[in-house]
Chains A and B, each alone.
Chain A
Amino acid sequence: MVADNTSTQNISLNLRVWRQAGPNKEGKFVDYKAENLNPNMSFLEMLDVVNDDLERKGEEPIAFAHDCREGICGTCSLVIDGKPHGPHSGIASCQTYVRSFKDGDTVVVEPYRAKPFPVQKDLITDRAAFDAIQQAGGFISIRTGAAVDANAVPVPKEDADLAMDAAACIGCGACVAACKNASAMLFVGAKVSQYSLLPQGQPERDKRVLAMVSKMDELGFGNCTNQYECSAACPKLISHDFIARLNRDYMSASIRQAFKPKSSV
């Protein structure tokens, strides 16, 4: 069912795909032949085509997570040939194209492998742990309607730009999947840094970092041992500098917490 595109040479790939019926079921690799592929199709569109064939044969298609297909929603989460989001840097799985592979290549497709992200089915993992970390403190408490005028507090452009660098995180979890410790510190560091760089984030700065780190530990994520695989795998290339900021914020918050005078109320 592949379209004719005369300007390009179609190719075939041997896919080795992780199939797992459910969370507590045993999984295994299954080989599929993906033939006559237009190099301009995306990796996910190739899976669509493979799935259409499976469905037509009455077999269950390969389950994979996807939604926006333009690299911003953070839903897609494939590990392609051992790399979260595939061979290219700075893009999500959905922005990987068939032209990245050569005719006849064997391509291994797996789900994220990290304890806090259990497999739900085939290539889909449960990343609710990220929501839980966010709920523990990843916000600025401002009731709707209580805000002052947006220009009342100027923010230096450099700070706003750096906060935006951190805020670009799409919450896909590739950082965790890439880390041998399954550490979420790039994710947490990005969120903590975004808020601690802005004046609006100051009142809850200590409370936030302590709560988020404690939740991260509780959920079974490991710690950073400075290999920086996370920022290499990050589709938004978020810098591991934000992990350093997280450590600094956490340290100073812990100290302040220890010496904080106790309020009588």
Chain B
Amino acid sequence: MATLNSNVPPGPLADKWSTYKANMKLVNPANKRKYKVIVVGAGLAGGSAAATMAELGYKVDCFVFHDSPRRAHSIAAQGGINAAKNYQNDGDSVYRLFYDTIKGGDYRSREANVHRLAEVSTNIIDQCVAQGVPFAREYGGLLDNRSFGGAQVSRTFYARGQTGQQLLLGAYSALSKMIGTGGVTMHNNSEMLDLVLVDGQAKGIVVRNLITGEITRHAADAVVLATGGYGNVFNLSTYARGSNATAAWRAYKKGACFANPCFTQIHPTCIPVSGDYQSKLTLMSESLRNDGRIWVPKKAEDCGKNPNDIPEEDRDYYLERIYPSFGNLAPRDVSSRAAKRMCDEGRGVGPTKLGVYLDFSDAINRLGADTVRARYGNLFDIYKEITDESAYETPMRIFPAVHYTMGGLWVDYNLMSNIPGLFVLGEANFSDHGANRLGASALMQGLADGYFVIPYTIGNYLATQKPGSAPKGDEQPFHDAVKSVDDMTKRLLNTKGKETVNHFHKRLGKVMWDHCGMARTKEGLEKAIEIIPGLREEFWANVNVPGSDDSLNQSLEKAGRVADFLELGELMCRDALTREESCGGHFREEYQYPDGECLRNDDDFSHVAAWEYQGEGNVPKRNTEALDYEFVKMSVRSYK
């Protein structure tokens, strides 16, 4: 059984990190170059970690499946990055950012980790500005801030609508420098297909070169995974098409616990699906809800009508009706679930009937089209580009979409998994967002982990390893891992069935969306747990993967990733089934207040569920780590 020791240091909350750092084991500068660290992924977390560890003197090998580290999906984050700088003098502080994040996460994250995140948030902004990240500024030349959901202060730093891009390019520039000087050996087009354990410790990986098909073994003193989230298990999401769970999933199958896999975030304002060819959902910024009013027709028979022909009295502004105090600005999870209910009642709009209107006609009448254009022009343009409709003339159609996963591989305070030597950063770990992530906090966590946490905590582990004691890559476990990778590849290529990989991915996505999406029930989850193994069986019996394994083969890449999603999806359902409460993004219909709010069960579920693999065909083991709230009082997260 896995040991889940959070290793949170003792002492007052605000002093934990500094005291811990001051007492860590150190690796002396001359010895650092004798340690090799593998980093998988080069988004905000992986890129910043690889660059910083190389600066410290470690030998770093960094692997990405993209053709360049600059392509990681961190690049698509729009809104901003939170930091407790209090530049606005509006009463922000480290404690307030910490508290907002804990509350936003519905009291399902670890206090000490979140406090550390809030502490280092200020260093991140300093670091990025020094790198030349062109954050928005005021006329006086100082940095500008905006407000974001879940906070009453302005603490969000931004670079137009491309904050993720600019932060990623900052990390990429730091990484590029270290590649140029030889500190980092970069492996592009390289997908990790297995984790290698030597004597129970993570000591290497097996990689497929996506251009040549070559399988290689890589040994190191420690392995860092920063491979992002697993939202593509739903097929349709705001993730990039290539985003996948394979590295994390293969680590899970080597013994790393997967924590809270059912905690997924569904964003309320995305452009709806237009047909079953759809590959991707595009986010429309939440800021639109400041001036747009959300409605559906009162009568189902009106749903096919031109919205402009539906009179005011036949419209149901349901958010304003159900949540009079928050109205159209109700929180993400609440708004998403309300939209789903309207569509379930048969009152959804658009060709697929899975959409609700976001209407700007009131705002245009009140403020004039020019003011609306100045505020939201770029978003209206994106909408027009995708749907060919003008939101100035007809209401937008929006629908919720999968956007982020709070769950991930279990890590302790050092960001080390239960496998010694395996570290997990960014969205790939579970640590900081609890059951729901606040806007502008993903970028903060990725960079905090990479720039300011792992460079310290990895030393604490490496100091326990003798310099030069890393395996060579020729030991038996490496050969075993290569064999299992080869076997899986052969199996995929030799099945020669009749259906495409996409076909299975779509079907899995539908099962997940229907039963493990915005609202979950015992019955639905049990059904999904029954369906998914059958789907998996069918996949392995009837999938057709053309081409060979000795060259660029995108079908093969996809097949391996979908095979993993077919397993992970089931685990998510199991986790959702056993968590008999509603919290944050996890909403069980059986557990709600009469007004539809999440009904948490702190007595029984104030813990992390960390699932442990028990071999193929066996039900995984549910371990728990208790979440003891020492400094914050748990309360009902109400938005009334």
> Contact residues of A with B, CB < 8 Å?
1-7, 21-22, 38-42, 44-46, 48-49, 52, 54-56, 58-61, 63, 65-70, 72-75, 91, 95, 97, 99, 120-121, 124, 126-128, 130-131, 134-151, 153-157, 160-161, 163-164, 167-168, 170-171, 194-195, 198, 200-201
B521 CB within 8 Å of chain A: no
| A73-B500 contact in complex given A95-B385, A147-B129, A168-B162, C-beta closer than 8 Å | no
Cross-chain contact of A128 among B68, B137, B274, B280 (Cβ < 8 A): B68
A154 vs chain B, min Cβ distance (A): 3
B70 CB within 8 Å of chain A: yes
B144 vs chain A, min Cβ distance (A): 9
Residue pair B173, A147 in contact (C-beta under 8 Å): no
Cross-chain contact of A72 among B162, B351, B501 (Cβ < 8 A): B162
Residue pair A1, B276 in contact (C-beta under 8 Å): yes
Cross-chain contact of A67 among B136, B242, B501 (Cβ < 8 A): B242
Residue pair A74, B176 in contact (C-beta under 8 Å): no
B180 CB within 8 Å of chain A: yes
What separation, in Å, do the CA atoms of A163 and B135 have in the docked complex? 10
Residue pair A139, B174 in contact (C-beta under 8 Å): yes
Jot down 10 A-B pairs with beta carbons below 8 A, ordered by A: A41-B275, A48-B279, A52-B502, A66-B241, A73-B240, A131-B179, A139-B173, A144-B174, A145-B123, A167-B169
| A148-B130 contact in complex given A5-B274, A63-B552, C-beta closer than 8 Å | yes
Cross-chain contact of B274 among A41, A67, A153, A154 (Cβ < 8 A): A41
| A60-B547 contact in complex given A45-B279, A124-B552, A131-B176, C-beta closer than 8 Å | yes
What separation, in Å, do the CA atoms of A206 and B615 have in the docked complex? 58
Contacts of B309 in A (CB 8 A): none
| A41-B141 contact in complex given A75-B71, A120-B211, A171-B68, C-beta closer than 8 Å | no
Contacts of A153 in B (CB 8 A): 129
Cross-chain contact of A73 among B75, B126, B132, B455 (Cβ < 8 A): B75
Residue pair A148, B126 in contact (C-beta under 8 Å): yes
Interface bits B228-245 vs A (CB < 8 Å: 1, else 0): 000000000000111000
B457 CB within 8 Å of chain A: no
Residue pair B135, A160 in contact (C-beta under 8 Å): yes
Residue pair A69, B240 in contact (C-beta under 8 Å): yes
A52 vs chain B, min Cβ distance (A): 5
Residue pair B130, A140 in contact (C-beta under 8 Å): yes
The 10 residue pairs across chains A and B that have the minimum distance between CB atoms? A3-B275, A154-B141, A135-B180, A147-B130, A139-B173, A147-B126, A164-B134, A69-B280, A150-B129, A163-B134
Residue pair B555, A55 in contact (C-beta under 8 Å): yes
Contacts of A5 in B (CB 8 A): 274-275, 351
B52 CB within 8 Å of chain A: yes
Residue pair A58, B176 in contact (C-beta under 8 Å): no
B387 CB within 8 Å of chain A: yes
B513 vs chain A, min Cβ distance (A): 16
| A134-B274 contact in complex given A144-B452, A151-B143, A154-B140, C-beta closer than 8 Å | no
B146 vs chain A, min Cβ distance (A): 15
| A73-B73 contact in complex given A128-B67, A160-B137, A171-B68, C-beta closer than 8 Å | yes
Most B CB contacts (10 A, CB to CB) among A5, A58, A67 go to: A67
Contacts of A41 in B (CB 8 A): 274-275, 277-278
| A69-B279 contact in complex given A120-B211, A194-B132, C-beta closer than 8 Å | yes
Residue pair B51, A72 in contact (C-beta under 8 Å): no
B258 vs chain A, min Cβ distance (A): 25
Closest partner residue, chain A, to B78 (CB atom):
A72
Residue pair A120, B277 in contact (C-beta under 8 Å): no
Residue pair B68, A130 in contact (C-beta under 8 Å): yes
Closest partner residue, chain A, to B72 (CB atom):
A73
Residue pair B132, A140 in contact (C-beta under 8 Å): yes
Cross-chain contact of A200 among B68, B130, B386, B499 (Cβ < 8 A): B130
B127 CB within 8 Å of chain A: yes
B554 CB within 8 Å of chain A: yes
Residue pair B127, A145 in contact (C-beta under 8 Å): yes
| A75-B451 contact in complex given A140-B130, A144-B127, A150-B126, C-beta closer than 8 Å | no
Residue pair A150, B143 in contact (C-beta under 8 Å): yes
A175 vs chain B, min Cβ distance (A): 15
Residue pair A138, B502 in contact (C-beta under 8 Å): no
Interface bits B62-99 vs A (CB < 8 Å: 1, else 0): 00001111110101100000000101000000000000
Residue pair B277, A55 in contact (C-beta under 8 Å): no
Residue pair A134, B452 in contact (C-beta under 8 Å): no
Cross-chain contact of A121 among B55, B496, B544, B552 (Cβ < 8 A): B552
Cross-chain contact of A139 among B137, B177, B282, B544 (Cβ < 8 A): B177
What separation, in Å, do the CA atoms of A156 and B129 have in the docked complex? 14
Closest partner residue, chain B, to A164 (CB atom):
B134
Contacts of A42 in B (CB 8 A): 279-280
What separation, in Å, do the CA atoms of A52 and B503 have in the docked complex? 9
A134 vs chain B, min Cβ distance (A): 5
Contacts of A134 in B (CB 8 A): 172-173, 176
Contacts of A45 in B (CB 8 A): 277-279
Most B CB contacts (10 A, CB to CB) among A1, A150, A161 go to: A150
Contacts of B85 in A (CB 8 A): 150-151
Contacts of B127 in A (CB 8 A): 142, 144-145, 147
Cross-chain contact of A74 among B71, B135, B278, B452 (Cβ < 8 A): B71
Interface bits B554-579 vs A (CB < 8 Å: 1, else 0): 11000000000000000000000000
